[in-house]
């Protein structure tokens, strides 16, 4: 259990400097499970980006939807550590999470500025990614448009 706790502490320390990082469930002596959220980063988006880096985490309500509703938490990301995990894997989780948050920030900033840009999709195919803002009920919400050329 000491090994798993060390991995949990390493991940907690590495992720805690991300702006908007919040750990959910911090009782002393808890299992080596890190449930967290990051302001502006939906856990499912975060998991998709981490998956592309070869890192698997769980996301969602984790069978405690009433509690999450009471706490005002839509969903969390969850990393679990066991005897077979290594410090290197924990470091990869931290590095990839930082990368994911940076990527989401860049995407959001591009969306907020109304920038139109191209994302390479395949050698002969490009994904045209356009953003426009729709006004509804006094609020502005981005809508995404995709087309393959």
Q: Can you list the pairs that 55-61 forms with residues at least 24 positions away whose Cβ atoms lie under 8 Å?
A: 55/89, 55/92, 55/93, 55/96, 57/93
* Residue pair 71/61 in contact by the 8 Å Cβ criterion: no
| Apex 34 CA angle, 107 and 98, nearest 5 | 30
At residue 18, φ and ψ (nearest 5 deg) are -75, 125
Give yes or no for a contact between 90 and 49, defined as CB atoms under 8 angstroms apart: no
Choice among 2, 63, 64, 126 that is catalytic: 63
Active site residue 64: no
- Active centre residues (catalytic): 63
């Amino acid at each position: 259990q000491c090994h798993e706790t060390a991995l949990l502490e390493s991940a907690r320390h590495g992720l805690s400097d991300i702006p908007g990082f919040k750990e959910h469930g911090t009782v002393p002596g808890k299992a080596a499970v890190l449930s967290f959220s990051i302001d502006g980063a939906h856990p499912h988006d975060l998991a998709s980006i981490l998956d592309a880096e070869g890192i698997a985490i769980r996301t969602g309500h984790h069978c405690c939807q009433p509690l999450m509703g009471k706490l005002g938490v839509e969903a969390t990301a969850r990393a679990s550590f066991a005897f077979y995990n290594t410090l290197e894997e924990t470091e990869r989780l931290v590095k990839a999470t930082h990368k994911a948050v940076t990527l989401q920030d860049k995407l959001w900033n591009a969306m907020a500025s109304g920038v139109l840009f191209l994302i390479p999709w395949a050698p002969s195919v490009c994904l045209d990614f356009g953003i426009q803002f729709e006004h509804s009920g006094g609020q502005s919400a981005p809508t995404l448009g995709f087309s393959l050329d």
